A = this chain, B = another copy of it.
Amino acid sequence: MASSSSSSPPPVPQADAFPDGTTDYVPVRKKAYDIRKPHITEMPITWSNWYQHVNWLNTTFIIFIPLAGLVSSYWVPLRFETAVFSVAYYFFAGLGITAGYHRLWAHNSYKATLPLKIFLAAGGSAAVEGSARWWSNLHRSHHRYTDTDKDPYSVRKGLLYSHIGWMVMKQNPRRIGRTDITDLNEDPVVVWQHRNYIKSVITMALIVPTLVCGFGWGDFLGGIVYAGILRIFFIQQATFCVNSLAHWLGDQPFDDRNSPRDHVITALVTLGEGYHNFHHEFPSDFRNAIEWWQYDPTKWFIWTMKQLGLAYNLKTFPQNEIEKGRVQQLQKKLDQKRATLDWGIPLESLPVISWDDFVEQSKNGKAWVAIAGVIHDVGKFIADHPGGKALISSAIGKDATAIFNGGVYNHSHAAHNLLSTMRVGVLRGGCEVEIWKRAQAENKDVAAVTD
């Protein structure tokens, strides 16, 4: 379990493994919190301490700086080249998060060569969402403890909390579920990025886009405002949607035990991470969308990298298992729907009526018809019968099993269903013919067996 660190980078500080195979996440740079002092989150928010509850560093990165960018854009004209580059850089940063942080490092859904890893880590830094190590640790915890209190961004605490609140407000590190990140601690790119996180962010998120726009077409200011700050803001909000929108909007074709949902809108916003119900059910699959017509550019990117020899071992869950999940979930919904419908009085709850009684009652004005050993009161239906009044009336006081089932007309499922709502009793001894046969065998008279 201890990091084997066979290569050059100095070993990352690492806690011992717990008996369940997980490790405590060790922040590496920050001072470890003092577990003897009560954590701020254990105290209620009041007028006098609210500012202590806020994580000011995160708030600066995801709210204040973007706001400043938004305001300054009022004075900075947007040039066409800068706009195009900002969008391209947006995709670069986005893929760093989706193809890198998420599908590669958090889920090991494929393997990447060193150049691709560096590319993805650089993109991830440009998105300003923490280091791959920090992000993946929380994300594994999110999968392992989805919707529980140990889930770092549980949607059960509100849509806003799952979107941004969990970063803006301080969190008790003891609350977050523990996971195993030994594999990440052995990945030199992850470790390097984590150790040099601030440097990489400033370089990739601000310096590089500013220099490209500045030296490319002389737009230093546009570079920092649009390709830098505002682009960061948009990619942050977009990827945050995986934690909020994807647990809130859409269908649940594979499992509805927990909150994850599939929706094309979320997919469009998040470079394909919107088929989140599938993803939580099959997290080790490099795809989030399994149909060719669904929007999953991250999947297309990984597939292209494979063609270029930069990615390999793309994992997919067996199709048979995926279909099984779908069938089971459909069955569950169908059973729920079935339970809301009226399927007629169960046979056990009906009175047992003798053949003679049945015939007698029918003569005395009851509109009773026997079909398949069950007596039905068709009185209210005669006028509505699609086959006409005459035919259905002719069956009153008789056993119509055969004529109902094809003798005259082979009734639809709908007709059988409707029939079951008209049940009033069960014939003693089954259908007429069975009663009659038994009487023959016993050599008795049977009254009223005429046709």
Closest to A324 in B: B417
Closest to A393 in B: B21
**Residues of chain B within 8 A of A343, CB atoms compared:** 324
Closest to A338 in B: B327
Report whether B180 and A20 are in contact in the complex, using a CB–CB cutoff of 8 Å.
no
Determine whether A409 belongs to the interface, using a CB cutoff of 8 Å to chain B.
yes
List residues 385-421 of chain A with CB under 8 A from any CB of chain B: 386-388, 390-391, 394, 403, 408-409, 412-414, 417-418, 421
Which of A87-95, A202-210, A265-273, A280-288 lies at the interface with chain B?
A280-288
Determine whether A384 belongs to the interface, using a CB cutoff of 8 Å to chain B.
yes
Report whether B384 and A284 are in contact in the complex, using a CB–CB cutoff of 8 Å.
yes
- A350–B183 Cα distance when bound, in Å, is 37
Work out how many copies of this chain go into the complex: 2
- A210–B328 Cα distance when bound, in Å, is 62
Report whether A282 and B414 are in contact in the complex, using a CB–CB cutoff of 8 Å.
yes
Determine whether A315 belongs to the interface, using a CB cutoff of 8 Å to chain B.
yes
Closest to A333 in B: B330
Determine whether A341 belongs to the interface, using a CB cutoff of 8 Å to chain B.
yes
Determine whether A16 belongs to the interface, using a CB cutoff of 8 Å to chain B.
no
Determine whether A357 belongs to the interface, using a CB cutoff of 8 Å to chain B.
no
Report whether A255 and B413 are in contact in the complex, using a CB–CB cutoff of 8 Å.
yes
Report whether B327 and A337 are in contact in the complex, using a CB–CB cutoff of 8 Å.
yes
- A337–B328 Cα distance when bound, in Å, is 11
Determine whether A334 belongs to the interface, using a CB cutoff of 8 Å to chain B.
yes
Report whether B327 and A386 are in contact in the complex, using a CB–CB cutoff of 8 Å.
no
* Count, chain A residues at interface, CB 8 A: 53
Determine whether A361 belongs to the interface, using a CB cutoff of 8 Å to chain B.
no
Determine whether A4 belongs to the interface, using a CB cutoff of 8 Å to chain B.
no
Report whether A414 and B317 are in contact in the complex, using a CB–CB cutoff of 8 Å.
yes
- A180–B408 Cα distance when bound, in Å, is 12
Report whether A107 and B282 are in contact in the complex, using a CB–CB cutoff of 8 Å.
no
**Residues of chain B within 8 A of A390, CB atoms compared:** 1, 21, 180, 182
**Residues of chain B within 8 A of A341, CB atoms compared:** 320, 323-324, 327
A334 partner, pick from B144, B180, B183, B327, beta carbons under 8 A: B327
Closest to A322 in B: B414
Known contacts A388-B21, A409-B144, A337 near B323 by CB under 8 Å: yes
- A427–B245 Cα distance when bound, in Å, is 45
Determine whether A254 belongs to the interface, using a CB cutoff of 8 Å to chain B.
yes
**Residues of chain B within 8 A of A391, CB atoms compared:** 20-21, 180
- A318–B343 Cα distance when bound, in Å, is 12
- A386–B316 Cα distance when bound, in Å, is 12
Known: A254-B414, A282-B414. 4 other contacts (CB 8 A): A20-B403, A21-B394, A255-B413, A327-B338
- Can you name 18 A-B pairs with beta carbons within 8 Å? A20-B408, A21-B388, A21-B391, A21-B394, A144-B409, A182-B388, A183-B388, A254-B413, A254-B414, A255-B413, A283-B386, A317-B414, A320-B341, A322-B414, A323-B337, A325-B414, A327-B338, A329-B413
